[in-house]
Amino acid sequence: MQTTRLRELIAAEGPYASVYFEDSHDTADAAKRLELTWRDLRERLAEQGASVPTLDALAEAVRQGTPPVGRSGRAMIAANGEVLLDRHLPTPPTGTVTRYSALPYLLPLVEYGEPAPVHIVAVVDSMGADLTAFAADGTVLSTETTQGSEHPVHAVTHAGEIRRHMEERVEETVKQNLRLVAEDINKLAQRVGAELVVLAGEVQGRSALHEELPEQTRRLAVEVSSGSRQDGVADSDLRKHVHELLEHARQERLDDAVRRFRAESGRDGGLSVQGLQATTTALREANVAMLLVDPAAQDSEATVAVGPGPEQVAPQQEELTAIGAETPVTGRADEALAVAAIATGAEIVHTGDRLELMDGFGAVLRHD
């Protein structure tokens, strides 16, 4: 997960209330279930010491939030009466999480909130296409329609030369229309930084369009056997296919991170470390390109020393005082290391069951 957008969050003054819960909206009683879930979460946070203004701010955000479509999770972090993060998660958490602590608890956000690639869905027919660009969080970035020529795009039954001439005109009109669509998709992909282009709609049209795309965009394109311009991106089969493609892309991204760590671990002088000692040292030196965590990091209640600077973390307080850090305190490792990674611009990856790390933490380094 890219962490740039989380820097403002860790700059806020704590303590923080962090909550994660299922927020699915796929049954008739979804609103009632959400009300009951929040009531339980509020009680648990209050027992941990969360202030009334912070609880009220979270409650208001829950009431005013836009319901998701289908299954979803939700991550919310607040401090001092202000909601700092309120995000739908593509994968619902396996259980509710509440934590009130000096630092925000961000590992469930990494585990369940790995963002989808920025993507475009193009629903195509012989006349043109409807293009919708989606951000990583699923919000719509742009909607466009490319409408081609108004000349006939279906052959009329005639005999002999007249019929052949009409068929040639139809074919050329369709090609021209698809060239226009390909140009517009390419421009849109460059503008929004698309990582995936989904081609849906008429089978002949989408296949021909695939070939018309410039090489750079063609490599991002995948065809799906669903969708029509009449139904657009609301088509249930199309949405299912797009969801499957996005989930596959998420898993591939995680697999790539694990392969990178293993490759570095498997060579002499490789740019990888694991365990609390080596990982915290690399974080203090701002030498972590990617912080990796596995489920053991969240199951453990391991603590580390935390200095005044968010990147100042170490297994023992003596290590921080030795470098001049004043009044280090004790904090949970599963909070402090994530905050240190964000402060130093590192990515954070939850490896799931793909990788077992010493103490639950590892890192891919920036340099030797």
pLDDT digits (tens, 9 = 90+) for 304-329: 999 999 999 999 999 999 998 888 99
Q: Are 21 and 74 in contact (CB under 8 A)?
A: yes
Q: What's the confidence (pLDDT) of residue 100? A: 98
Convert the pLDDT of each residue in 216-233 to its tens digit: 999 999 999 988 888 888
Distance CA 340, CA 289 (A): 12
Sheet holding 313-314, edge to edge: 313-314, 303-306, 329-332
Q: Which among 96, 112, 128 is the end of a domain?
A: 112
pLDDT of residue 30 exceeding 90, the answer is: no
Residues 350-359 have a mean pLDDT of: 94
Residues 345-366 have a mean pLDDT of: 96
Q: Are 320 and 314 in contact (CB under 8 A)?
A: yes
3-state secondary structure the chain: CCCHHHHHHHHCCCCEEEEEEECCECCCCHHHHHHHHHHHHHHHHHHHCCCHHHHHHHHHHHHHCCCCCECCEEEEEEECCEEEEEEEECCCCCCCEEEEECCCCCHHHHHHCCCCCCEEEEEEECCEEEEEEECCCCCEEEEEEEECCCCCCCCCCCCHHHHHHHHHHHHHHHHHHHHHHHHHHHHHHHHHCCCEEEEEECHHHHHHHHHHCCHHHHCCEEECCCCCCCCHHHCHHHHHHHHHHHHHHHHHHHHHHHHHHHHHHCCCCCCEEECHHHHHHHHHCCCEEEEEECHHHHHCCCEEEECCCCCCEECCHHHHHCCCCCCCEEEEHHHHHHHHHHHCCCEEEECHHHCCCHHHEEEEECCC
**Is 41 in the same domain as 135?**
no
Kindly indicate the confidence band of residue 205, based on its pLDDT and cuts at 50, 70 and 90: confident
Convert the pLDDT of each residue in 173-188 to its tens digit: 668 888 899 999 999 9
What domain range includes position 98? 4-112
**Is 34 in the same domain as 150?**
no
Global pTM reads 0.84
Kindly indicate the confidence band of residue 332, based on its pLDDT and cuts at 50, 70 and 90: very high
**CATH number of domain containing 334:** 3.30.1330
pLDDT of residue 171 exceeding 80, the answer is: no
Residues 255-284 have a mean pLDDT of: 95
Kindly indicate the confidence band of residue 154, based on its pLDDT and cuts at 50, 70 and 90: very low
Kindly indicate the confidence band of residue 278, based on its pLDDT and cuts at 50, 70 and 90: very high
Q: What's the confidence (pLDDT) of residue 152? A: 46
Convert the pLDDT of each residue in 11-20 to its tens digit: 999 999 999 9
What's the chain's average pLDDT?
A: 90
- Whether 259 is covered by a domain: the verdict is no
Q: Which among 221, 251, 281 is the end of a domain?
A: 251
Q: How many domains does the chain have?
A: 3
Distance CA 209, CA 183 (A): 10
pLDDT of residue 85 exceeding 80, the answer is: yes
- Whether 266 is covered by a domain: the verdict is no
Sequence-distant (6+) residues with CB within 8 A of 28 are none
More confident residue, 130 or 65: 130
- Whether 260 is covered by a domain: the verdict is no
**CATH number of domain containing 237:** 3.30.420.60
Convert the pLDDT of each residue in 280-311 to its tens digit: 999 999 999 999 999 999 888 999 999 999 99
Kindly indicate the confidence band of residue 156, based on its pLDDT and cuts at 50, 70 and 90: very low
Sequence-distant (6+) residues with CB within 8 A of 267 are none
Residues 235-262 have a mean pLDDT of: 92
pLDDT of residue 254 exceeding 70, the answer is: yes
Tokens of 119: 């993507």
Q: Are 54 and 81 in contact (CB under 8 A)?
A: yes
